[in-house]
Amino acid sequence: MGKRKLKVSFVITGIFLICFVISFLISDIMKKTAVSTNAAEVTATGDVQTGDTVQMIEDEDKVAAQAPGTSDAFLIAESDDTAPAETASEEITEDNGTEEDAAALEDEAAITKDMTGTKETAAEEISPAPESALSADDSDVIDTTEDSYATTNTDAEGLIGILSTPEWYDAIDVAPTCDYVIANVNEILNVRAEPDKNADLVGKLMKDSYAKILERGDEWTKIESGDVVGYVYNAYLYMDEAALERLSELDAYKVVVNVNVLNVREQPNTECSILGKSTVGDEFTYLQEQSVDGWNAVQYDENTVAYVSDEFTDVVITLDTAITIKEYEAALKAAALAKALEESKKSKPAVVNRDPITLSDEDIYLMSVVIAMESLSESHEGKVAVANVIINRMLNGSWGSTVSDVVYAPGQFTGANSGRVEQFWNKVSKDCMDAAVEALAGYNNVGDYLFFISIGKADYSKYSKYYVLGGHCFYARN
């Protein structure tokens, strides 16, 4: 009984294997028949539309790397010579892909050919867009021409298309390089009510004053500066890049602190080191390119870039603005009055000869040292004038009665009290000695003036009269 069951099992197993082999052979025959038929159809289509044989990529790795249905899933190549129709059949049949892959490739090639009409056009349409056009940083990349533009969206593959929209292109407004202009003149630039050289004057822009652009024109620009709104001639302006360069040259941009006390930090955050503290009104040079959101970069010292919170600071331009015509006319009157007053104060003393004064050699030499300290580079007349101021003070008595008393009086000859006079002890020239002797002999070229100061530090409004000689102003106080 057991042997009979074993025989039945063997028979059933054999029948199953025979059916499996027959099924496999039938399936293989059907696949080859379908592929051959499809390949022939593709070849026929290629011959009808282009006159050349269409061949698919034989490279197994390249085909495997392309996903069916994508725009770059296949490559159409034009053969050097016209080949028999069997060529296309052989290329597809030898491909290691599946029947579905071959069918998908065939359908996609046919659709592309129908849309483009030629193989060359199809190849251009399915080529992937350049990496720059598909950057993840931009949602749309626009390439403009004279009458069209192409928009590439990162959500789609390849180029979406080219749309002819001249209205859109004409609407593009290129932002100006700089919103400000600076007067590029030696002294003064007129601001007029209208863009015409004969129009009424409404204001004046002084050299290197700045204004905000309101309207741009080919010859005239409408500006606002201070209380002045009007037109200035473009030929006398620093504009755009030139204006930016001039602003930098003039160190015009400043960061101004607007709170009582503000930390100046090493980095743009509150966790870093504090370099120092600034107070309201403090100004720093603004470093725009190094500034970040929430923090203004500033030049803290010659070698240090620091950061201050933009919440507690203001970025301003520290150049002058325009003045109105009324302000300009008032300034002219004030300047004329000041000049007249200055002229009236000028009083050149007459040269007189007074009685000679006798001093010891030590006092004469000390006077010569002071002359060297105060006027070594001045003319001989300038040296004699300094010597006569010392003599006038001796005769006045308010600072003492000797050369030493006058020279070392507190708060007078600052070089004497600082030790600077000793530095000139061995620098006395013959001209200094001659000036001291000449003044003591009675030659007086400064009258009764008791004070002198370098002209760079002179404040003429505080003098009742004065006399300028060389680099010194000799004066009498109000």
Q: Does the CA dihedral 345-350-354-357 come out positive or negative?
A: positive
Nearest to 58 by CA among 33, 94, 24: 94
Mention every residue, 6+ apart, whose C-beta is less than 8 A from residue 30: none
The pLDDT value recorded for residue 70 is 39
Tokens for 353?
């000869």
Tokens for 240?
């755009």
The pLDDT value recorded for residue 176 is 52
- Distance between terminal CA atoms of the chain? 150
What is the β-pairing status of strands 304-309 and 295-301? antiparallel
* Coil vs helix vs strand at 269: coil
- 27 vs 254: CA distance, rounded Å: 84
Tokens for 438?
């000449």
Q: Kindly tell me the burial class for residue 373, based on how many C-beta atoms sit within 10 Å of its own C-beta (0-12, 13-18, 19 or more).
A: buried
Q: In CATH, what number does 253-317 get?
A: 2.30.30.40
> What radius of gyration, in Å, describes the C-alpha atoms of the chain?
48
The pLDDT value recorded for residue 139 is 24
Domains 253-317 and 352-477 share a fold: no
Tokens for 265?
């930090």
- 127 vs 71: CA distance, rounded Å: 8
CATH 1.10.10.2520 fits 352-477, yes or no: yes
pLDDT per residue rounded down to tens, the chain (478 residues)? 555 555 666 667 777 777 776 776 776 666 665 545 554 444 434 333 333 333 334 444 443 434 444 333 333 333 343 333 333 333 333 344 444 444 444 444 444 444 444 333 333 333 333 333 333 332 222 233 332 223 333 333 333 333 344 454 454 555 457 999 999 999 999 999 999 999 999 999 999 999 999 999 999 999 999 999 999 999 999 999 999 999 989 999 999 999 999 999 999 999 999 999 999 999 999 998 899 999 999 999 989 999 999 999 999 999 999 999 999 999 998 888 778 777 777 888 889 899 999 999 999 999 999 999 999 999 999 999 999 999 999 999 999 999 999 999 988 888 887 888 888 999 999 999 999 999 999 999 999 999 999 999 999 888 999 999 999 999 998 8
Residues 368/457, Cβ–Cβ less than 8 Å: no
The pLDDT value recorded for residue 177 is 78
The pLDDT value recorded for residue 9 is 64
Give residue limits of the domains in the chain: 12-126, 131-170, 253-317, 352-477
Angle at 186 between CA 180 and CA 187, to 5 degrees: 85
Write out the H or E segment, with its range, that includes residue 257.
Answer: strand 253-257
The pLDDT value recorded for residue 221 is 97
User: 140 - beta bridge partners?
Assistant: 153
